């Protein structure tokens, strides 16, 4: 399928950058990538072309985000006032009609988050395609000084910071939940990534930023590049197209968690074991089946972008990819049945994504309509 990505705010623009970098050369799926932020230095740090990025919020409360700390409603209002300018940038670029639009944004802040509901609503009116949101949730250490002190030891102090830290955001939990509520009924679906789950002990969000963005971008590329877009490599036997993804993600703001698993595999062998005359390796059926089973299990039961019980999902999607010789059809079909039994319904689709030049077998899993204890935790903190 053909996807347009719109990065909003600092976190959203960095994530849009990461998705652009993760696009497979032999399976392009991005029509356009845009970066919109209130900070010019942040925009200059992206690799997105100047014609596709814009500073916004001049003369509004968004320009001085600290002034919104206690008044997110003012941020929502200011966001409404800038969306026409952002859409104008998109139109001037000659944007190609996509199959879907993905708005990337960090929740909990006071620039990208408050603008997201208005921008998503405007895109829904302007584009004849679903508009999805990919959003990051704030980590506890961003708004809870007790967590910061515990992570850094007894001598760190309650408000200690390092050079890589972002300024503290005491209202981040409340802002994240209120922004999610504003997106309900507006976004076609909301894919979430919980920074808290992905942080290592003692690590700040800024320290983990590049790794987390790569993890999330890998999932996005595996899902959206597995469709029926242009390809210079092998063609899938079971194609997942834009309508299939829309069927799974839905149009009613379902909360979505993304799973992923991969395993490195050998794709070439050498005559006489001397490293001479590399040839395509013949793959034993048992090896291929084992690799597919392993990555499917990791995708469903491994670390999810938003921790949840997969059994709570209403719908599911499985895409298994890698070198064609390793994509055992029976194992992929069994993987789909495993996901279907996990989700407990008929709303499950599956497909394959051959990667002729790939060196890993991977499984990308979409769990739509999930329930998550993390969201309940943030709601309790926001009350």
Does 8 reside within a domain? yes
92, part of any domain: yes
Report whether pLDDT(160) > 70. no
User: What is the tally of structural domains in the chain?
Assistant: 2
Once rounded to an integer, what is the mean pLDDT over residues 246-271?
A: 90
User: Does residue 254 or residue 156 have the better pLDDT?
Assistant: 254
Q: What is the pLDDT of residue 142?
A: 86
* 277 vs 250, higher pLDDT: 250
Position 250 in a domain: no
Range of the domain at 270: 256-368
Q: Based on the domain organization, do 261 and 324 belong to the same domain?
A: yes
- Would residue 241 count as lying in a domain? no
State pTM to two decimals: 0.90
pLDDT computed for residue 65 by the predictor: 53
pLDDT of 321-340, one tens digit each? 999 999 999 999 999 999 99
What does the pLDDT read at residue 2?
94
pLDDT at 307 over 60: yes
Q: Are residues 262 and 220 in the same domain?
A: no
- State the CATH number of the domain containing residue 260: 3.30.1330.20
User: What pLDDT, on the 0 to 100 scale, is given for residue 161?
Assistant: 37
- Indicate if 31 and 89 belong to the same structural domain: yes
Indicate if 217 and 261 belong to the same structural domain.
no
pLDDT value at residue 84: 94
- Per residue, the 3-state secondary structure of the chain, as one string, reads CCEEEEEEHHHHHHHHHHHHHHCCCCCCCEEEEEEEECCHHHHHCCCCCHHHEEECCCCCHHHCHHHHCCCHHHHHHHHHHHHHHHHHHHHHCCCCCCCEEEEEEECCCCCHHHHHHHHHHHHHHHCCCCEEEEEEECCHHHHCHHHHHHHHCCCCCCCCCCCCCCCCCCCHHHHHHHHHHHHCCCCCEEEEEEHHHHCCCCCCHHHHHHHHHHHHHHHHHHHHCCCCCCCCCCCCCCCCCHHHHHHHHCCCCEEEEEEEEEEECCCEEEECCCCEEEEECCCCHHHHHHHHHHHHHHHHHCCCCCCCCHHHCCEEEEEEEECHHHCCHHHHHHHHHHHHHHHCCCCEEEEEEECCCCCEEEEEEEEECCCCHHHHHHHHHHC
* 76 and 155 assigned to the same domain: yes
* Residue 350 clears pLDDT 50, i.e. is over it: yes
Given a cut of 50, whether residue 223 has pLDDT beyond it is: yes
79 pLDDT tier (thresholds 50, 70, 90) = confident
Kindly tell me if the per-residue pLDDT of 136 is higher than 90.
Answer: yes
pLDDT confidence of residue 281 = 64
């Amino acid at each position: 399928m053909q996807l347009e990505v719109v990065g909003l705010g600092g976190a959203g623009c960095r994530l849009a950058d990461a998705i652009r970098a993760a696009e497979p050369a032999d399976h392009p799926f991005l029509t356009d990538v845009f970066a919109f932020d209130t900070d010019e230095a942040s925009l200059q740090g992206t690799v997105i072309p100047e014609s596709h990025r814009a500073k916004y919020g001049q003369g509004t409360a968004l320009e001085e985000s600290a002034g919104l700390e206690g008044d997110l409603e003012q941020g929502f209002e200011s966001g409404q006032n800038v969306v026409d300018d952002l859409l104008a940038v998109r139109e001037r670029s000659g944007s190609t009609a996509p199959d879907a639009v993905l708005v990337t944004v960090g929740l909990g802040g006071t620039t990208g988050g408050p603008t997201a509901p208005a921008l998503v609503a405007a895109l829904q009116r302007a584009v004849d395609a679903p508009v999805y949101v990919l959003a990051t949730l704030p980590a506890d250490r961003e708004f809870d000084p007790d967590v910061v002190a515990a992570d850094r030891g007894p001598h760190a102090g309650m408000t200690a910071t390092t050079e890589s830290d972002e300024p503290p955001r005491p209202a981040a939990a409340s802002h994240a939940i209120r922004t999610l509520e504003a997106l309900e009924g507006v976004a076609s679906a909301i894919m979430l990534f919980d920074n808290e789950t992905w942080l290592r002990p003692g690590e700040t969000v800024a320290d983990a930023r590049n790794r987390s963005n790569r993890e999330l971008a890998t999932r996005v590329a595996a899902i959206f590049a597995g469709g029926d877009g242009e390809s210079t490599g092998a063609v899938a036997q079971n194609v997942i197209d834009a309508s299939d993804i829309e069927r799974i993600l839905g149009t009613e703001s379902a909360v979505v968690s993304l799973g992923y698993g991969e395993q490195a595999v050998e794709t070439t062998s050498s005559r006489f074991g001397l490293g001479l005359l590399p040839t395509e390796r013949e793959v034993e059926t048992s090896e291929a089946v084992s690799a597919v089973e392993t990555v499917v299990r990791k995708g469903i039961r491994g670390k999810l972008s938003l921790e949840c019980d997969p059994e709570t999902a209403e719908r599911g999607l499985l895409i298994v990819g890698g070198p064609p010789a390793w994509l055992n059809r029976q194992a992929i079909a069994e993987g789909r049945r495993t996901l279907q039994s996990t989700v407990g319904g008929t709303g499950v689709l599956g497909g394959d994504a051959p990667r002729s030049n790939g060196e890993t077998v991977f499984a990308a899993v979409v769990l739509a309509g999930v329930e998550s204890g993390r969201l309940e935790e943030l709601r309790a903190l926001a009350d």
